[in-house]
Every structure is written in structure tokens, then in C-alpha cells.
Amino acid sequence: MWKDEVLEEIYKIREEHAKSFNYDLQAICDDLRQKQSTSGWQIISHPLKQPPLRYNKSLHLPLPIYPQPNCEGGSSC
């Protein structure tokens, strides 16, 4: 099987970082947030996208559009 040396190095660094915090997820996240805030890089966050609305004529209210189930074989959903 082919190995990607770059990925292997990333996995090694990530494992060492987690081990240094005894695999405590809260401590790992706190450390990464602290590094992020002192990095000098501009942080850009995007708001979550809301699902598009459709109009429900019977209720006279807009409702979110959710993916419709795949109805194959002529069966009703």
C-alpha cells in the first residue's frame, strides 16, 4: 500500500500534540484556540447557511425545504 509521507508527518505531530495533553480534548482545543488567537492571522468565520424556505399554502407559513426521499419502484413515500 502507498504511504503519503506528508500525511504520516501530520498524523505524528497530531498524535504528539494530543499525547502532551494526555488526550484531554478540552485542553487540546484550549491550546489550539490560544495558538490561533496569538498567530496574527485574520480569523474569518462564516455563519451557518439556513435551508431555503418554501411556502406552505395550507398553513400560510414558510417552511424549510428538506431533501425529499428517493421514491423508486412506484411506491408512495
Domain hosting residue 10, numbered range: 5-37
- Give the model confidence (pLDDT) of 7-61 as tens digits: 999 999 999 999 999 999 999 999 999 999 999 888 878 887 776 666 556 666 5
> For residue 66, which amino acid is it?
Y
Number of domains in the chain: 1
Look at residue 74 and tell me if it is in a domain: no
The predicted model scores a pTM of 0.51
- Distances from the Cα of 65 to the Cα of 51, 53, 54, 68, 75, angstroms: 6, 6, 6, 9, 22
- Cα–Cα distance, 38 to 26 (Å, whole number): 18
Look at residue 68 and tell me if it is in a domain: no
More confident residue, 4 or 61: 4
